A = this chain, B = another copy of it.
Amino acid sequence: MSASIQNLSGLDRVIHEPARLMLVTLLSAVESADFLYLLKESDLTKGNLSVHLSKLEEAGYIEAEKTFRGKMPHTEYRLTSKGKSAFDQYRKNLSSVLGVKSK
């Protein structure tokens, strides 16, 4: 019981931040997504979206594939397998709290 409580202190901060939790959740539902899609779905500002995507990339949880659509740059973001398992682990740790109804 107190073992599952201790899971909470070790929650992955990279994923735990609401903005990034949103992004990871969004990306876990699709193959890949571009900047504009994430911008609209997340309702973040461009700056914040950029920074949070960078943090997720630094952590190795997502990867960005930069290409050109005609002459326009186009970037697709997708969860890596590392990102997927980190998200799975995060959900496991949290479900110990959320799963148990106290009342």
Q: Which residues does A use to contact B, with CB under 8 Å? A: 1-2, 5-6, 8-9, 11, 13, 16, 18-19, 21-22, 25-26, 28-29, 41-43, 84, 87, 91, 94-100, 102-103
Contact = CB atoms under 8 A, between A and B. Distances in A.
A29 B28 CA distance: 32
Contacts of A11: 18, 21
Closest 6 CB pairs of A and B: A28-B102, A8-B22, A11-B18, A91-B98, A25-B97, A8-B18
Copies of this chain held together in the complex: 2
29 contacts: A2-B41, A5-B22, A5-B25, A5-B26, A5-B41, A5-B42, A8-B18, A8-B21, A8-B25, A9-B18, A9-B19, A9-B22, A9-B42, A9-B43, A16-B16, A16-B18, A21-B97, A28-B102, A28-B103, A29-B100, A29-B102, A84-B102, A84-B103, A87-B102, A91-B97, A94-B94, A94-B98, A98-B98, A98-B99
